[in-house]
Amino acid sequence: MIDIYEIVGLLAALLTTASFVPQVYKTWKSKSADSLSLTMYLVFFVGIVLWLIYGIHLKSLAMIVANSITAVLSLLLIIFKLRYK
């Protein structure tokens, strides 16, 4: 059975992960990534991958789902930054 803390974790994961969607969409539609910091997103991506590894170790569904999706979204922004120069 899922406890209240798992629900809170899943809700937090949903909200923080969803916060990347507007930036990915805007960058994709505008084909402009001038205002994005490549260094920031590279460091962020590595951090997210480390959180994902930690979440897998803990078998935390919220951490695994959130960090998997966030890793993909941040990787897309890195790709857009490199592609839309």
Q: Per this entry, what is the length of the chain?
A: 85
Look at residue 3 in the predicted model and tell me its pLDDT: 86
Domain count for the chain = 1
Look at residue 79 in the predicted model and tell me its pLDDT: 96
Alpha carbon separation from 83 to 19, 45, 68 (Å, rounded): 22, 17, 22
pTM for this one? Answer: 0.85
Q: Find the mean pLDDT for residues 7-34.
A: 92
Domain at 15, CATH number: 1.20.1280.290
The CA angle 79-26-49, to the nearest 5 degrees, is 40
Q: Which domain holds residue 57?
A: 4-83
